[in-house]
Amino acid sequence: MACLPEVVVFDLGKVLLDFDYGIVVGKLASRGRLAVPQLKQLLVESPLLPAYERGDLTSRQFFEVVQRETGFDGSFEQFSGYFGNIFSPIAPMVALQEELRAHGVPTFIFSNTNDLAIEYVRCTYPFFAGFDGYVLSYEHGSMKPDAPLYEVVERVTGRKGGSILYLDDRAENVEAGMSRGWHAVMHTDPVESRQRVLAAGLLG
């Protein structure tokens, strides 16, 4: 008999919060020597951001690299504000998590992310405090879809296999969850994701 989900694990970016790196790219372009296309390549397409989100660089080290490569003329504090302020809530998904919490269902965050982003999110969006646990890539030296970070989720939640319902917007991350027997859902639309949660009996 298949195991029914007991906990719900949410990706953060593009599931609970939308984000747009174009915001920070535009702000940095006005205060340095690189044009928007070069800044986008550095911040979004190069190995720099994955290294930061894997915890290979501290926030200060990440800033120093960006400052050196772009000529950004501002302070670390100004850069932190620019880099964090790229998010907007996806209201139906935030409401879904709150509904699950009200029904006593444990919920968790599982995200490839970085310290500057999480500091901003924690200070700006009260819903972020309402989870039972957090697995954040930069704190564990590993990133989705690599197996070690999924193992951390299983330790933090105390669940394995079909006991975990997992929502993520990236196919490779969903596939990695499925390979561990999780109920992994490819999130594309809040209505559809809520239906999958309902079908799992978590709000009945």
Residues 14-35, mean pLDDT to the nearest whole number:
95
Kindly report the CATH number that applies to the domain delimited by 21-84. Answer: 1.10.150
Q: Which CATH number, 3.30.930.10, 2.30.30.220, 3.40.50.1000, 3.40.50.20, labels domain 7-18+88-199?
A: 3.40.50.1000
Residue type, 136: L
Q: To the nearest whole percent, how much of the chain has pLDDT over 90? A: 97
pLDDT per position as a tens digit, 124-179? 999 999 999 999 999 999 999 999 999 999 999 999 999 999 999 999 999 999 99
Is residue 2 pLDDT above 80, yes or no? no
Whether the predicted model's global pTM rises above the 0.75 cut: yes
Q: To the nearest whole percent, how much of the chain has pLDDT over 70? A: 99
The continuous run of DSSP H or E covering 80 comes out as: helix 76-84
Residue 87: the pLDDT is 97
Residue 3: the pLDDT is 82
Residue 63: the pLDDT is 98
Is residue 204 pLDDT above 80, yes or no? no
Residue extents of the structural domains in the chain:
7-18+88-199, 21-84
The 3-state DSSP class for residue 111 equals strand
pLDDT per position as a tens digit, 102-123? 999 999 999 999 999 999 999 9
Is residue 1 pLDDT above 80, yes or no? no
Is residue 38 pLDDT above 70, yes or no? yes
Adjacency order of strands within the sheet including 183-186: 133-136, 107-111, 7-10, 164-168, 183-186
Radius of gyration of the chain (CA): 18
7-18+88-199 and 21-84 have identical folds: no
Calculate the alpha carbon distances from 30 to 24, 45, 48, 65, 69 in Å: 10, 20, 21, 18, 14
